[in-house]
Structure 1
């Protein structure tokens, strides 16, 4: 309990005068982190199951890509509609229903024995997962108001824990039982989480007092700032996913052994987990703009260094590269509530996540086509150049932030 007690809500006066309200609000980050860990784990669980499904259904690589694309596509496409449902149905009902759908999708995948059934099941699960990021992030930001940056960092880190835990759990289960029974087991976890959210997630209203005379001006300024933040997020995601696509091939060109190559990205991911905390802390102290300029500039320099150095020093740089790659998203997510249009926090998160997910899906293809033309080194250098494109966007964003 110590972790979130450091981030006590302070923006709503009622939270201080009503102990019951304060106690209820303490549930928001815990339940939001649980939802994020579950849904992100469900997303990455597909990668762990693809080899099993390839053997079970005799799939080619095109069909494998289709399975992954169905889940990611439905999740990305329905982010905004899910965020728009929250004001009508309520965050608790929408998030609980989405979590239940995500779990039932995997239960159906374990029940149906055909490729078509598996595709439908993944679409159902993807439809459920579309609600989580926007609604859980919005709930955390409303509960903590102007102090939401640190809790949102913890929330995003919880997703990394889920990405590690659930795929590993599935792999462990399918060594003892069939993959269908393994999916039923992990879907039962999601059903339980959905039930807890439905029963326990408190309702927290947004508290943004704004005078009528300045409301339009504030909203217009926020929309402009949010558009710039959105653009930075799209660019940053493209850099990260493009680099991760080419990094194994870059290391192989330097002579890395096949045994080391299978674990070569681990230092990047470890550094990335640390980067979420480190860069979020840095943004709170030196400002968002300075932190983004630091992370994007350092990313570009580290990419170029990794291209030019020999294998051993390049491997030493990978953890720091991971810190910078994952540091920028942590800063951006924490800034969404500040720039979201008034009382549209969930919709703002939905738009932001839709853009970054779409960028992450399309960037590898775009860089891959470029790599076919100019080679691995040239395409990797292009990711460094893309990182520098965030500089003018960050400088333009500066005047829209209360803490630059």
Structure 2
């Protein structure tokens, strides 16, 4: 299909004899997408398991929050060490081992009989998942070189597929078998993916002259440029997570029923998945800055519209709101390689993902305290204002980019 064609005639990827460069790049992309879907699915699978663990172990809400925090915390803090490890062991070995470790953690969770056991298991799984974002996105970036923006949008989109599929799968499995057996089943999938990565992910050279063209603009893509991009990513994540925190309460003030609440959130998430793909493609054609300004401006406008409109028209706008909320992320991820040298690609992605994950964890708390003081509507408006603060940062980023 033409839509998925992001080939570049100059990009080098090492592979076995007789393999074309194009086939090797494609294999890097789809194996990276598979890893992203699996790891993101493992991350969000916890939400479906928390009620089961609460009932089985008699856990408090604080203990449940701790479980989620342990997984997210280990995943965020170990991304930079994962990048350093990859420089020693190689991307393929490190990503395969991390995938195996993520699967092993859930297998251990299936054997645990206490809160401490669950904490250890989720720390193991989170440690394994720390390898995926920097290494897989770095592999796609180096494989496609200066044409990586489109493939990175596909890679970004694949994470949403995993977030949809694995939580749904575990929810179904625990209705037909004990939850421990269900965890062992999904762990087996992770082990198989780890084996496939170890056997079939092409090795990607770090010293290809063609790949060095990707970073030939480093005189413009300076450290200050990456700092601006990093700040935009942190704020964009804060807007998204802050709004999702208050959206159910905002819709509740409009009289939405509980069954319809699930539909409303599904509409946002479906739009978000589409936004990651479409806006990544759009960024390659209309420019990074134009796309960021459009998505952040659209986010702010749609947030205010959802606040002001009655329930029915607000529901109609939710998929488009999801597109705007998630669309910026694909453009930002695709810009990371443009602002860093090839040999530091994984480290740059690790820093970027660490910042956005931390923002996703902390921003709901900040907006929550704000909501206690000024109410749901006021805090929701604050998320729209945060989106607008990205405008001057995006304009300041323009001179650092090869194309805008």
The aligned counterpart of 1:230 is 230
Does the 8 Å CA contact 1:4/1:29 hold for their aligned counterparts? no
CA distance in 2 between counterparts of 1:54 and 1:346 reads 37
C-alpha change, 1:216 and 1:37, in structure 2 (3 Å) is closer
Give me the CA root mean square deviation: 2.0
Q: What residue is the counterpart of 2:298 in the other structure?
A: 298
1:12-91, aligned counterparts within 5 Å?
12=11, 19-22=18-21, 23-91=23-91
Residues 59 and 337 of structure 1: CA distance in aligned 2, closer, same or farther (over 3 Å)? same
Give the alignment of 1:4-403 within 5 angstroms: 6-12=5-11, 19-22=18-21, 23-206=23-206, 209=209, 218=218, 221-403=221-403
Structure 1 gap segments, 5+ residues each:
none
Q: Post-superposition shift, 1:216? A: 11
1:160-206 C-alpha deviation (Å, 9 max, x unpaired)? 11111111111111111100010001001101111111111111123
Instruction: State the shift of 1:103 in Å.
Output: 0.4
CA distance in 1, matches of 2:175, 2:158: 26
SS class of match (1:263): helix
- In structure 2, the CA distance between the partners of 1:13 and 1:379, relative to structure 1 (3 Å rule), is closer
Question: Separation in 1 of the partners of 2:217 and 2:340?
Answer: 13
- The 1:104/1:51 distance shift into structure 2, 3 A limit, reads same
Aligned CA distance change for structure 1 residues 346 and 174 (closer, same or farther; 3 Å): same
**Aligned residue pair count:** 399
Secondary structure of the residue that 2:263 maps to in structure 1? coil
Q: Supply the distance in 2 between the matched residues of 1:84 and 1:380 (Cα, whole angstroms).
A: 39
CA distance in 2, matches of 1:389, 1:40: 29
- Displacement after TM superposition at 1:289 (Å): 0.4
Contact (CA 8 Å) 1:11, 1:207: kept in 2 or not? Answer: no
Contact 1:70–1:122 under 8 Å retained in 2: yes
Secondary structure of the structure 1 residue equivalent to 2:343: coil
Q: Could you list the per-position Cα deviations for residues 197-250 of structure 1 after superposition, in whole angstroms to 9, with x for gaps in the alignment?
A: 11111111235649x9xx999367432211111100000000000000000000
Unaligned runs of 5+ in 2: none
Q: What CA distance in whole angstroms lies between the structure 2 residues aligned with 1:219 and 1:133? A: 26
For residues 7 and 288 of structure 1, the distance between their equivalents in structure 2, rounded to whole angstroms, comes to: 17
Query: Using a 3 Å threshold, how does the CA distance of structure 1 residues 392 and 252 change in structure 2: closer, same or farther?
Result: same
